[in-house]
Amino acid sequence: MLVVRKFLIHLYMNKSQISDKVLSCHTQMQNVDLLSMKNSFNYHLQVSLRIRGSHFCAAAILTDHWLLTAAHCFASVSKDFLHKIEAVAGNFNQRKVDRGEQNFQVKTVKFQEKYQHSSPMSYDIALLEIKGRIHFGDFIKPVCLPYPGERFPPKTMCVVGGWGRITEKGPLSSVLQEVQLNLLEQSKCRHVLQTLRSGQKTFTVLCAGPDSGGRDACQGDSGGPLLCPRADGRWVAVGVTSWGKGCGRSWNNNKIKPSSRRGSPGVFTDVLMFLSWIKSNLRKDRSLCGVPDGVVPGSEGSIGNFHSSLSLHFCHRMCLWSIRVAAGEHILLEFLEFDLENDTQCHSDHLTVYVDEDRQIGRFCGGQPPPPVLIGGSHSITVQFVSDVSSTGAGFAIQFSAVDKDYSFGAECGTVVLLQPKGAVWSPGYPQAYSNNTLCRWVIYAPEGHIVKVKTTLKLLCWPSHCLVSPLSSRDLSVQS
């Protein structure tokens, strides 16, 4: 029995019942056996989808009006069909109305464009827009999405939850269940899936679960998130529960088994593969990024996300702005407003500036506006903003402009990024004396396989009693008085 989990094949044996204690995405957990754990984040991140009052699929909360689910959960997206669907957030026990529970009608469903009902094993992902707004709090929270390029290695211990069948042919669970599953190597995932569908050429999934079976999701768990931990203990939605062969069956030696007795690990749509698709569909939502992200037109303007409730209730909001100027011009960034979570390592809410999309030139956080940044030698930069739900700030506003290559900060100072093969730097107001409490930063990049060679006449290192003249040899020069 090859099943796509509208009554999806997942959450089989050893699922543990969970209670209603809050565990948000920024919470760190160490040395916890999730099979016996009685406090889970699934309850707060997950939505029960019901038709005429009966649960049929799950979804994960992205924002206060967007949900992430599996495309195969919806055989139709007609208004008549959607009118029968109810999305219930904050629910734990299907047999009663739980404290903090909120009910919504479904407005629209967006399938990934390559998804086909006739072949639901690939591109099985959808965005669901609800009518009204979710009110976040102790009982309902949004799920975290992975960063672009983030990887979770094989054997990573992940968790999936839902109200699906407890056994392959058993009844649906009335209370939310969860089970621990380890990620599989992609090569092993593909190999075992080929024993089920030898002609499968498109793989948009990842697999999780033991080859001996016994732990899995099951029918009714479709659309729920597969949550995996980062190295720092934060949990993110890496997959969307999609399909499988049976529930909790062993898939050892599949090839020598009759087709009816073969099994599979849990199969989940790979969220990392669809991050850009998710972003492109939500990009026009100003509640996500203030100024819509993407390519910013023009040679001057402003970007930002400044609002009194900017980061509230959006787990790992990520906005990307791409700024381009004409060849030969430099890019000037001036921070007009800046109030992000104060973290000395900038691991929580932070703003990062990249040159050519991959070379980081600065990461900023805290409550003080950074000095202006002047970027020379490149006509393209990317500004990335990431936030979590651990704490909030008012946000930021940045003014950008294209400036002449001879532009200088004058008597002031800031960060100067140099990408040219050769050039010169000097202190503010040179050859005049610089002012007290001056902090200047030069970021100098050498091409791959090269080093930076710095020549200078003098560097004065001064103490109260004397000054020392010494040579300079640094790739990132700092002068502070």
Please list the active-site residues: 72, 124, 222
Angle, alpha carbons 307-310-312 (nearest 5°): 145
Q: Is 53 left (phi over 0), alpha (psi -120 to 50) or beta?
A: left
Q: Report which residue type is found at 360.
A: Q
| Own/partner long-range contacts of 107-113 (Cβ < 8 Å, ≥24 apart) | 107/82, 107/131, 108/77, 108/82, 109/74, 109/77, 109/82, 110/281, 111/71, 111/74, 111/77, 112/71, 112/274, 112/277
CA nearest neighbour of 333 among 381, 385, 404: 381
| Greatest pairwise CA separation for the chain in angstroms | 88
Residues 6 or more apart whose CB falls under 8 angstroms from that of 247 comprise 9, 10, 11, 12, 165, 167, 168, 216, 217, 218, 219
Nearest to 128 by CA among 68, 85, 84, 80: 68
Distance between CA 267 and CA 72 in Å, rounded? 13
**Residue 307 three-state SS:** coil
Peptide bond between residue 431 and the one before it cis (omega within 30 degrees of 0): yes
Q: How far is 398 from 387, CA to CA, in rounded Å?
A: 17
Q: Which residues contact 191 (CB under 8 A, 6 or more apart)?
A: none
